[in-house]
Amino acid sequence: MSHELVHVATDAAISPVEPWLLEGFADYVALRDVDLPDSATLGRAIALARRDGPPSQLPGAAEFSTRAKDLQAVYEQSWLACRIVAERLGEQGLVSVYDAASGGELIDVVLIGERLSSQALTRIWRTRMKTLTG
């Protein structure tokens, strides 16, 4: 329920935000104070990465299709990407990235403005997924 309330509070229905950021941010806020191991919160993403290897790019619209296979894993992957942004830029940095992207700024431009490129984020994210599959 918290995930959906974040969408309501941020006008997600009319937001131009990249799907991974839109859904990952909502999960980040919803799970912020949940104290569970990654094996629980990222279990489906870890299983998918073990099966198919880490994805080459952050999830896009096709991966969030209601017909998409492994949809829950895609949500978890997106949450991990937002967690990494928060680790690198702080929670306020994640909020700033989300706000700027929600305002129509391109995510690549927003991240570079925060001293984190999309390529670097993707590389860190893929490395983290590889580490989690251990």
pLDDT of 21 over the 90 cut: yes
Q: State the Rg of the chain over Cα.
A: 14
Every domain of the chain and the residues it spans = 2-133
Integer Cα distance of 5 and 13 in angstroms: 12
Amino acid in position 43: G
Residue 2 banded pLDDT, cuts 50, 70, 90: confident
Higher model confidence: residue 107 or residue 134? 107
How does pLDDT run across 32-83, given as a tens digit for each residue?
A: 888 999 999 999 999 999 999 999 999 999 999 988 889 999 999 999 999 9
The contacts of residue 69 (CB under 8 Å, 6+ apart) are none
pLDDT over 80 (residue 13):
no
